[in-house]
Amino acid sequence: MQRILERGEIESLDHITIPRLRLPPSDGVFKARAARLRKLAANEIAGTPVSTELSGYLLLMADVVEAQDAVFASLTDADAALPDQNMLEMARQHAMPPLPLAGARPLAWHAIFARLLTSLAPSAKSRPQLVPVLAALQALDTASLDTFADAVLNQRIEEVDPAHAPFIAAALQILWTHRASKLMLQDVPTLETAALCPVCGSHPVASVVRIGGQSQGYRYLHCELCASEWHMVRVKCSHCEKNANIAYQGLRSRDTEMDAEIDAKKVSAPLKANKANDAQKVIRAETCDDCHTYRKIVNQEHDYEVEPLADDLASLMLDVLVTEAGYNRASMNPLLWFSGPA
């Protein structure tokens, strides 16, 4: 016998169909990011023009990300063990991130940092400016390294040399991404706030509208540290979670048109209103007039290969535009630090 579902039941079924969390794959995060950085550096992405100076920096960071990929591929389970079942269960019960950025780090992180620097040695041969940076990083004792790692994880930018911070952040990303890729979805609770990564508690670096499979048309926030992605409805501030005063700023145009979340009820015809492959909509800033911050949003409907962290890093012109309009960046890009100790 057929039973008619009540409205509330239908909504709760719809909710289940949206994957709430996309854990990072066990390989490919850094490979895809490095490839995207090289394309952006070569000015191959219409809609994200890149200056010569920025291009040089993106190529350096592409080397760093390739080194991350090499170290990531060499890690074993023993390098970065997950918390035991009791700890995971406790995190779940208290709706806490299972791999919190605060507190003790697995000791393997020192070795990961050293391996990252070693992997960058070939790159330094063609980049003389990298030689003193790597030498200074190699000379750090473990106590200083841990102090700087705490500053990087908490975005305390005045406590760390901005030239050193991206390399420390890169090593931490390897460790957290590796561990996040080993988690099971059920290990990760839903946090009270949707503005922080449910896996590690870090900020999102940017958000991304995904296409394909069950994630079709949905917006995810991309973790700056562990590369996990969690669902947040579109047209909502990823910083203060209000939705009344959101607008989208591209390099060429600002639009307030409601780029509406495709809710699960309309999933059979979700994308008719959107024209795909619009270069001006590959990356935009989502601005909020409630908290006066912005965070960028990249859209796979307009460029399949978008990579949130790389596209955010390469679109500094958009940062300038939006900052001049009076908005502050909601959080930093771990591969670019603007200011350090005076």
Binding segment (CB under 5 A) for Zn ion, from list 117-125, 201-209, 259-267, 274-282: 201-209
Size, binding site for Zn ion by CB under 5 A: 14
Q: How far is the CB of 25 from Zn ion (least distance, A)?
A: 14
Side chain identity at residue 280, one-letter code: Q
Pick from 288, 310, 316, 335 the residue near Zn ion by CB under 5 A.
Answer: 288
Distance CA 300, CA 279 (A): 11
DSSP class of residue 265 equals G
Assess 247 for contact with Zn ion (CB under 5 A).
no
Binding segment (CB under 5 A) for Zn ion, from list 39-47, 117-125, 189-197, 294-302: 189-197
Pick from 178, 236, 239, 284 the residue near Zn ion by CB under 5 A.
Answer: 239
Cβ closest to Zn ion, residue 137 vs residue 170: 170
% helix, strand, coil for the chain, step of 5:
45, 10, 45
Fill in the per-residue mask, 208 to 237: x = in contact with Zn ion (CB under 5 A), - = not in contact: ---------------x-xx-x--------x
As given in the structure block, the two tokens for residue 89 are 């269960």
Binding segment (CB under 5 A) for Zn ion, from list 134-142, 163-171, 195-203, 265-273: 195-203
What lies within 8 Å, CB to CB, of 60 at 6+ separation is: 123, 127, 130
What lies within 8 Å, CB to CB, of 310 at 6+ separation is: 33, 36, 37, 40, 58
Pairing of strands 219-223, 293-299: unpaired
Assess 240 for contact with Zn ion (CB under 5 A).
yes
Q: How far is the CB of 177 from Zn ion (least distance, A)?
A: 9
Assess 169 for contact with Zn ion (CB under 5 A).
no
What Cα–Cα distance (Å) separates residue 181 from each residue in 137, 187, 194, 197, 209? 27, 12, 20, 14, 21
**Which residue ranges make up the site for Zn ion (CB under 5 A)?**
197, 199-200, 202, 223, 225-226, 228, 237, 239-240, 288, 290-291
